[in-house]
Structure 1
Amino acid sequence: MKPIINVIIPAYNEQDSIANVIHDIPNFVEEIIVVSNNSTDFTEQNAKNAGAIVLSENRKGYGYACLKGMDYLAQKETKTDIVVFLDGDYSDYPEQLEELVAPIINKNIDFVIGARVKELREIGAMTPQQIFGNWLATFLMKLFFNAKFTDLGPFRAIKYNKLLALQMEDKTYGWTVEMQLKALKHKFTYTEIPMKYRNRIGVSKVSGTVKGSIFAGIKILSWIFKYSFK
């Protein structure tokens, strides 16, 4: 029996990119859930026109949007097997979703990160602060937890029952690192798949601003140190 796969896409003012993301997702996915995170443009309408389920989350924060999508899945009659998280800015290649979920389907891996490796990354697709932040976070996870992560990439897949077991709580910038830290704590099996990565459509709401970069960095480091001394 083929696993039931659902995709959650947090999106804040991604009217120019969201339809591209939705159209490039393979058709074996059951539902594409776009969570409009207080968007003020045509993100919601464009997502609906492209065929996605659209939810609204007025509280700003990446984690808030992801949790809203999870709430929706919890209420579905059809059981979900795998959840994929994907950004709405078209920087990832949604068609690589099949590669992303393959370790879960074929090798029974619990959790897969799409790693934005340098060789497959467009020049300028990640800012210097993103590259340094990823290096520092994954270095600290290796130092404290002997983790093998190399990226905090938002394009990721996880077994639904394992996702529920993590009891995710971060509402803003710490969502990705919280998931990875809790997966380590729960001793989930995990792997990374090298993924292509391109320059996003539009301006990043996090790495595109000094304030966003600083707050994201503080949140990520606070999660790591919180778990290091538990």
Structure 2
Amino acid sequence: MTKIKVIIPAYNEADSIAHVIKDIPDIVNEVIVVSNNSNDDTEINAKNAGATVLTEQNRGYGYACLKGMYYIASQPEPEHPDILVFLDGDYSDYPEELTKIVAPIIDNNIDFVIGARVKSLREKGSMTGPQIFGNWLATTLMTLFFRAKFSDLGPFRAIKYEKLLQLKMEDKTYGWTVEMQLKALRQKLSYTEVPVNYRNRIGVSKVSGTVKGAIFAGVKILGWIFKYSFKK
């Protein structure tokens, strides 16, 4: 049986995290919530909902994801997953669609799957103007430079665990998602996108909800793209 684990980075998601965990399908073996220096009840609510809860004091999306990966690496090898899924803790994604995300890996041996937040499945207002433009710009540049076929940098994604380790992920903040996609292209992993529903998040976004966050995220994303564009 395919072993699946989920990593959920979470910063002050006390109002949403239990909903996210509750809607994750039973095919998942372990849900790992990484509290990214939260100062509300995120950790308590996640633990009460049945998740493994870790704490990462360094603020940053990538820091939280890496903390979850280090935790898995520290487990006995038989406990390592076949597939690792990344999912946000704000309830903007539909966790029950995880079965759609992992299906190409299980059924077709695809290495990497992105949940694409297509316009027809997005709730009005669920993505801000800067988010939409940033996604378009990043994926367009990846198409121009790498002939990629990505349409989104969606955080809801699944990847074979062994392939993820080969990517040697390193970004600590907002560049995590695009780094994974660029390295997947570089290493010629097979990949596909699956259209997913997307709704307005519970609470305020820590990235797109602030001018500083949006600018910093944009700089990080473009930085990774241009870095890999000129890398031999």
Deviation at 1:53, TM superposition (A): 0.1
Instruction: Give 1:113-192 correspondences, 5 Å limit.
Output: 113-192=114-193
Which amino acid counterpart does residue 70 of structure 1 have in structure 2? M
Match of 1:138, SS? helix
Match of 1:67, SS? helix
Percent identical: 76
Match of 1:179, SS? helix
Match of 1:7, SS? strand
Instruction: Give 1:1-230 correspondences, 5 Å limit.
Output: 2-77=1-76, 78-230=79-231
Which amino acid counterpart does residue 33 of structure 1 have in structure 2? I
- In 1: Cα distance, 2:80 partner to 2:225 partner: 32
- In 1: Cα distance, 2:139 partner to 2:158 partner: 18
Deviation at 1:11, TM superposition (A): 0.1
Deviation at 1:79, TM superposition (A): 2.4
- In 2: Cα distance, 1:31 partner to 1:75 partner: 14
1:37-68 CA-to-partner distances (Å, cap 9, x unmatched) read 00000000000000000000000000000000
Deviation at 1:14, TM superposition (A): 0.1
Question: How does the TM-score come out when normalised to structure 2?
Answer: 0.98
Which amino acid counterpart does residue 101 of structure 1 have in structure 2? V
Structure 2, gaps ≥5 residues long: none
- In 2: Cα distance, 1:24 partner to 1:79 partner: 23
1:141-169 CA-to-partner distances (Å, cap 9, x unmatched) read 00000000000000000000000000000
- In 2: Cα distance, 1:47 partner to 1:168 partner: 26
Which amino acid counterpart does residue 87 of structure 1 have in structure 2? D
- In 1: Cα distance, 2:35 partner to 2:161 partner: 22
Deviation at 1:80, TM superposition (A): 1.2
Deviation at 1:75, TM superposition (A): 1.3
Match of 1:34, SS? strand
Match of 2:102, SS? helix
- In 2: Cα distance, 1:167 partner to 1:202 partner: 32
Question: How does the TM-score come out when normalised to structure 1?
Answer: 0.99
Which amino acid counterpart does residue 131 of structure 1 have in structure 2? I
Which amino acid counterpart does residue 53 of structure 1 have in structure 2? T
Structure 1, gaps ≥5 residues long: none
| Runs (4+) off by over 3 Å | none
Aligned-residue CA RMSD (Å): 0.4
Which amino acid counterpart does residue 168 of structure 1 have in structure 2? M
1:92-114 CA-to-partner distances (Å, cap 9, x unmatched) read 00000000000000000000000
- In 1: Cα distance, 2:80 partner to 2:6 partner: 14
- In 2: Cα distance, 1:163 partner to 1:227 partner: 18
Which amino acid counterpart does residue 134 of structure 2 have in structure 1? G
Match of 1:176, SS? helix
Match of 1:97, SS? helix
Which amino acid counterpart does residue 134 of structure 1 have in structure 2? N
